[in-house]
Amino acid sequence: MNHNLLNDICLRQLTLSGVHEGETISVLTQGDERADYADAFMWAAQTLGARTFHLRLPSPASASGAWAVGQSGLAGNQLAVDALKQTEMLVDLTFLLFSKEQFEIQAAGTRVLTAVEPAPLLARLMPTRELRERVEIGAELLAKSQSMRITSPHGTDVTYRLGVYPTMSEYGYTDQAGRWDHWPAAFVFTGGADDGVDGTIVLAPGDVLLPFNTYVQAPVEFTIEQGFIRDIRGGLDAELLSSYIKSFDDPRGYGMSHVGWGLDERAHWHGLTQFGGGMGMELRSFYGNVMFSIGPNNELGGPNDTPCHFDIPMRGCSLYLDDELIVDAGELTVADMRPAGKR
Ligand code: FE
């Protein structure tokens, strides 16, 4: 992306994130990745009167190619962690998500923004205050609910017992001390009780498998009991899922993780056809998707920290909170969660 455009979107991002004079904004990269983003963020921070520096980690010593979450380049580098903890905001261009180093930095009051998606996607899904409000309305509804039920015409009927884990919102910027967000994003989620997810989920053609970054071609049926997947049936997609989870040799890879829905009408379901999907944030965010996840729940404060993780946005599902219909076959029912043109 053109330098001026990149500078411009980073300035808009840091403005939304409340960056101001007197703050220090740190920028973290690894190897030779995203040096252009780092420069643009530092320019934007300075333009807003903040101090800034760029901390660059070496390239990972081993590149397994697997999307194993929780393994950060900051591990064992306490001096670097301490430097980042002393800043008001960290712009993470490496994807620290789920690492204990990120949790430690947040616990020190540093707000953290992750940005690793292709720059044209950052620009197209620029966060807005209006979208944040709609996401926060969804989060309020979710936070006060005791149960979630998801159904679909393809045979999904699963119930999550809620009330154990906090509700999280992602709207693509962060202006609150200690809070993390990811640019771009527009969704809400929580997790079921560790032994409180039961039923059947049937993936339909067109549902999305992240991190495979593929669309399901033929139905996949999950049987879930007491918070764990007991059976996976179907064709090639089911075999690939099973084989991948099995390769971690970790029974916690079958745990049920976060669950929620997306709100961004600008995000495309067909997003994987562009930029290879990047990290898949566009797919997590598209309007009316219901996303469930497999694997770790330590992000919500739970005990499961397996590195085996799937996020699976689904189309056309219905979602009930305490028996109230919130997503009706992929359409949000609450006017205040809809975009202005759809109320
Ligand atoms: Fe996830």
Encode pLDDT of 259-304 as tens digits: 999 999 999 999 988 877 688 999 999 999 999 999 999 889 999 9
Pair 10, 67 in one domain = yes
Encode pLDDT of 27-83 as tens digits: 999 999 999 999 999 999 999 999 999 999 998 765 554 455 567 889 889 999 999
Element (H, E) at 54: strand 51-57
Give the residue from 274, 296, 271, 303 showing the smallest Cα distance to 286: 271
Pair 239, 146 in one domain = yes
Pair 246, 164 in one domain = yes
User: What CATH number is attached to the domain comprising 36?
Assistant: 3.40.50.2300
Instruction: Write down the pLDDT at residue 70.
Output: 60
Domain count, the chain: 2
Given 98, 116, 134, which residue is the final one in a domain?
116
pLDDT band at 317 (very low <50, low <70, confident <90, very high): very high
Encode pLDDT of 157-175 as tens digits: 999 999 999 999 999 999 9
Q: Would 121 be classed as within a structural domain? A: no
Q: How far is the CA of 316 from the centre of ligand 1 (A)?
A: 20
User: Domain limits at 139?
Assistant: 126-342
Pair 192, 337 in one domain = yes
Given 116, 138, 169, which residue is the final one in a domain?
116
Q: Would 324 be classed as within a structural domain? A: yes
Q: How far is the CA of 279 from the centre of ligand 1 (A)?
A: 11
Pairing of strands 51-57, 168-170: unpaired
Pair 66, 159 in one domain = no
The CA distance from 272 to 281, in Å, is: 10
Q: Would 48 be classed as within a structural domain? A: yes
Pair 176, 315 in one domain = yes
Pair 303, 196 in one domain = yes
Q: What is the mean pLDDT of the chain?
A: 95
Q: How far is the CA of 185 from the centre of ligand 1 (A)?
A: 12
Pair 327, 198 in one domain = yes
Q: Which two tokens stand for residue 118?
A: 């292709």
Q: Would 73 be classed as within a structural domain? A: yes
Please check whether residue 235 is in contact with residue 205, taking contact to mean a CB–CB distance below 8 angstroms.
Answer: no
CA dihedral 243, 246, 252, 255 (to 10 degrees): 20
Pair 58, 147 in one domain = no
Pair 51, 173 in one domain = no
Q: How far is the CA of 32 from the centre of ligand 1 (A)?
A: 26
Pair 33, 181 in one domain = no
Q: How far is the CA of 98 from the centre of ligand 1 (A)?
A: 9
Q: How far is the CA of 285 from the centre of ligand 1 (A)?
A: 12
CB burial readout 284-306, b (16+ within 10 A) else e:
bbbbbbbbbbbbbbbbbebebbb
Average pLDDT over residues 98-111: 94
Instruction: Write down the pLDDT at residue 252.
Output: 97
Pair 72, 198 in one domain = no
Q: How far is the CA of 278 from the centre of ligand 1 (A)?
A: 14
Q: How far is the CA of 324 from the centre of ligand 1 (A)?
A: 25
- Predicted TM-score (pTM) of the model is 0.94
Q: How far is the CA of 312 from the centre of ligand 1 (A)?
A: 8
Quick one: angle between helices 35-47 and 3-16, nearest 10?
A: 60
Encode pLDDT of 14-23 as tens digits: 999 999 999 9
Task: For residue 263, give the 3-state DSSP assignment.
Answer: coil
- Write the CA distances from 208 to 27, 126, 165, integer angstroms: 31, 23, 25
Q: Would 275 be classed as within a structural domain? A: yes
Given 116, 151, 169, which residue is the final one in a domain?
116
Q: Which two tokens stand for residue 68?
A: 């194993």
Give the residue from 163, 167, 168 showing the smallest Cα distance to 146: 163
